[in-house]
Structure 1
Amino acid sequence: MTTDDDLRRTWEDQQAVHKIDREQRFAVMLDYVERLTGAPKRVLDLACGPGSITRRVLDRFPAVRVVAVDLDPLLLRLATGAFAGDERVNVLSRNLDHPDWTTGIDGDFDAVLTATALHWLSPPAFARVCRAVAGLIRPGGVFLNADHVLIDDERLRAAADALHQQHLDTAFAAGVQSCDDWYRRAYALPQYRSLWAERQRLFTHWSGDLMRSASWHLDELHAAGFETADVVWRYGNNAVTVAIR
């Protein structure tokens, strides 16, 4: 029988296929947090999934307190189970597409982190989230987003897309599980089959991936009230942006 531990493990496996150098990307994010804020006392994990970022934050900064939010019902159950009994972590259900998602979340975070998630938002919703995050971070705190942040030059962007697709085609031809395969198999399990209709209802707002350039992302962060923002790591059209409040 497939257990929750199996699902968390295979989530990490398939995400590592989709995101080359995924561990380096996480390490870079935490390096910048520590360099810019010191060892953080409070971290917000946006769209936490089964807890990938939260786990790495706890391993790096054992004294930290983390608020982890997501919308997907299965991923929330996996995250809740992963940190059950750990008083450092509070897992909450929140829809980032709703303007009131910050209700009940106290501010003054040292860092807000998110990875491979905000592309689910429309441009107006992304702008709202950036403004809300700016309001939750203490002065001098940081917001790090690892996601689709496209190369500005069209030819280089197209080359990066082609290279990434070549990598995926090779991996999937060898039988590696894709992200879509993971969701289909996880929600087909008897213990989670009943949650599929709820997930479909919760994600009716999604109309396609948010694919915008680095300059667009940085403009949105500055408009949201961040003092400075820039891309600090990149692999093709996947990048990490850091914004300082």
Structure 2
Amino acid sequence: MTTYLKNAAIWQESWDAQQEAFMPDREHRFAAMLTAVAAVTDGRAPRLLDLAGGTGTISLRTLARFPGAEVTVLDQDPVLLTIAEGSLHDRAVIVGADLGDPGWRAKLPHEGFDAVLTATALHWLPAERTAALYAEVREVLRPGGVFVNADHMADEGLSELSGLLQDRARVEREARYASGAATSWADWWARAAADEQLAAKAVERQQIYPTGHSEDFNPPVGWHVEALRAAGFRESGVLWRGGTDAAVIGLR
């Protein structure tokens, strides 16, 4: 019998609050992503892959909007996957896999997904691996399925304004941390490591990322659109934008 994380919903709430300090419009991108899923499935419950899904943020919102959805969460982080498993229980398949390894697809329970969604995660991968991953994702989609990646993707035509927007967001974020309105990234992970239930998973995580994640790769949105086209998607473009963040979509 599986023993689930106690207070998983509280940890989920804590993660959401920490992430929203970075992205106040976080829910807007999720809503746009799921509207695209509804469009390609004509509203029926989708078969969906939550790629680099962490705590299952997208999966939880998918199941709230499409109660009959068939959801798979794939991630490498043992702390976040423990929270996902505790939050989702038997409503999703949980898969541990490294997207830096082209063999990640072999760990999926099936292919033929209606949609593959990911948010604020793939920037940890280098350019050449991201481009290759886009082609791999296309192969797990059914014809007519969609892939959406929401991340930090500035508009290349607005470099000066993008810098100003990033500076303003940084000031507001630091003010939230200083007031106690939000927990910083570093503080959240310190609290997880100190938790009796998550401490062992935090040790596993340290072994996976001994020096932390690699340097961010945050090219402008045009790079992603072109990479999707090069990966074989028959259509690609910008689905959503909020400041210096955007969601790009590819239609197989």
Structure 1 residue 40: Cα displacement: 4.4
Match of residue 127 from structure 2: 123
Match of residue 223 from structure 1: 230
Please state if 1:91 is matched with 2:98.
Answer: no
Mapping of 1:112-151 within 5 angstroms? 112-151=116-155
Any stretches of 5+ residues in structure 2 without a counterpart?
A: 1-5
Letter in 2 for 1:144: V
Match of residue 6 from structure 1: 10
Q: SS at the partner of 2:247?
A: strand
Q: SS at the partner of 1:225?
A: coil
Match of residue 216 from structure 2: 209
Letter in 1 for 2:218: M
Pick one of 4, 22, 25 that aligns with 1:21. 25
TM-score normalised per structure 1: 0.93
Mapping of 1:67-78 within 5 angstroms? 67-78=72-83
Match of residue 206 from structure 2: 200
Q: Is residue 150–residue 246 contact of structure 2 (8 Å, CA) maintained in 1?
A: yes
Please state if 1:184 is matched with 2:190.
Answer: yes
Letter in 1 for 2:26: R
Q: Is residue 97–residue 107 contact of structure 2 (8 Å, CA) maintained in 1?
A: no
Q: SS at the partner of 1:85?
A: helix
Structure 1 residue 128: Cα displacement: 1.9
Match of residue 234 from structure 1: 241
Measured in 2, the distance between the counterparts of 1:41 and 1:155 equals 40
Match of residue 173 from structure 1: 178
Q: Is residue 95–residue 101 contact of structure 1 (8 Å, CA) maintained in 2?
A: yes
Structure 1 residue 187: Cα displacement: 1.4
Q: SS at the partner of 2:89?
A: coil
Structure 1 residue 232: Cα displacement: 2.0
Letter in 2 for 1:10: S
Mapping of 1:33-112 within 5 angstroms? 33-38=37-42, 39-86=44-91, 89-105=92-108, 106-112=110-116
Letter in 1 for 2:130: F
Measured in 2, the distance between the counterparts of 1:226 and 1:100 equals 21
Structure 1 residue 195: Cα displacement: 2.6
Structure 1 residue 58: Cα displacement: 0.6
Residues matched between the structures, number: 242
Structure 1 residue 120: Cα displacement: 1.2
Any stretches of 5+ residues in structure 1 without a counterpart?
A: none
Measured in 2, the distance between the counterparts of 1:85 and 1:211 equals 35
Q: SS at the partner of 2:90?
A: coil
Measured in 1, the distance between the counterparts of 2:151 and 2:97 equals 19
Cα-to-partner distance string for 1:19-65 (whole Å, 9 max, x where unaligned): 12111111111111112332343100001111110011011111210
Pick one of 28, 35, 42 that aligns with 1:31. 35
Measured in 1, the distance between the counterparts of 2:53 and 2:107 equals 17
Q: Is residue 76–residue 98 contact of structure 2 (8 Å, CA) maintained in 1?
A: yes
Cα-to-partner distance string for 1:158-190 (whole Å, 9 max, x where unaligned): 122112112212211211212221111111212
Letter in 2 for 1:24: H
Q: SS at the partner of 2:106?
A: coil
TM-score normalised per structure 2: 0.90
